[in-house]
Amino acid sequence: MATTKDTPISPATKVSPDSTPEEYERVDGVFKNTGAYRPLKPEHNVKDSFSNLVGGVLKVISVERGKISCSLTVKAPLVNAYGGLHGGSVGALADRVAIACARTVVGKDKDIFLSELSISYLSAAPKNVEVVIDGSVIKSGKNLTVVEVIFRLKESGRLAFTSRATFYNMPVSSL
């Protein structure tokens, strides 16, 4: 199987002898079409650049104990090849909203650590559409907090994504 300088599949990559050249070409095509072969731009090669990318679009609408509501307009840096909100963006946004929501019930004396994040992708959120993101604490106890995050298109109310995050509540270390 041929490799080029434009592919992360190198001669050192283990390829099953059962794989056909057609299978290899399909895998190679996925990487090419999703931009996986492009080099990382210097402006993105900084600490936590993804937070900078998604953080700039989120607007807080309301905050109360156990609930938070935010909105965003889907912008070009957050979309996939099909022009909708990218799944990775959905995950990053769900994570941020869930953390903020959990913080409304978990005291400052505890750190929270993400244990699990699940996402259901139900429909697209196209570029330039406003999305309302609602987070709510489902359960919070001594050691765990569970948060549900719902993404809806503002204009139609259509459900786009749902997410559930589970956090460990840990005492703050006194090092």
CB neighbour list of residue 32: distance below 8 Å, 6 or more residues apart: 6, 7
CB neighbour list of residue 45: distance below 8 Å, 6 or more residues apart: none
Task: Render pLDDT for 60-114 as a digit per residue (tens, 0 to 9).
Answer: 999 999 999 999 999 998 999 899 999 999 999 999 999 999 999 999 899 999 9
Domains of the chain in start order, with CATH, are 51-171 (3.10.129.10)
DSSP H or E segment with residue 91: helix 87-103
Task: Render pLDDT for 124-166 as a digit per residue (tens, 0 to 9).
Answer: 999 999 999 999 999 999 999 999 999 999 999 999 999 999 9
CA atoms within 13 A on the CB side of 66: 7
Task: Render pLDDT for 17-67 as a digit per residue (tens, 0 to 9).
Answer: 888 888 878 887 887 877 777 787 787 777 776 666 676 789 999 999 999
pTM of the model: 0.80
